[in-house]
Copies of this chain bind each other. A is one copy, B any other.
Amino acid sequence: MGLKNSHNRFYNGKINYVNFSKINYIKKSVILLTIRVVANNYVKLEKKQEFIDLCKKLVEESIKEEGCMDYGLYHELDNPGILTMLEEWRDKSNLNEHLNSNHFKEIFPLLLEYLQKETEINMYTKKF
């Protein structure tokens, strides 16, 4: 049985049926020395929807990239002006390829127009 099938055993077509403890098992059993990226964008509130719309294509294209483990747009719970990319890359070279990809170089400069100030970017690797 492939992993796709075993995955379907506990993901039954609706988010409610996900068995978190099993996903948890996978995440905790493997120490991935990946690069985690947190990019906080301080968005002009009146341009928030435009920012989100532009991010859709960036997320869709980035998540297909080689070495992309995770890539999503998030909102900060206590601050409606912060929209954040949380990313995970297999290694630094994959992240560098992302930053040089056509979709990133096309979309990122357009996003800057909707920001109040420069994006705060942090990159992390795991200690334990």
Chain A residues engaging chain B, CB cutoff 8 angstroms:
1-4, 6-7, 9-11, 15, 18, 20, 22-33, 35-36, 38, 40, 52, 55-56, 59, 63, 67-70, 72-78, 82-84, 86, 90, 122-128
Contacts and interface: CB of A to CB of B under 8 A. Distances in A.
A11 B121 CA distance: 32
A70 B34 CA distance: 14
B30 A11 contact: yes
A41 to B, nearest CB: 12
A2 B7 CA distance: 10
B73 A126 contact: yes
B76 A20 contact: no
Nearest to A56: B128
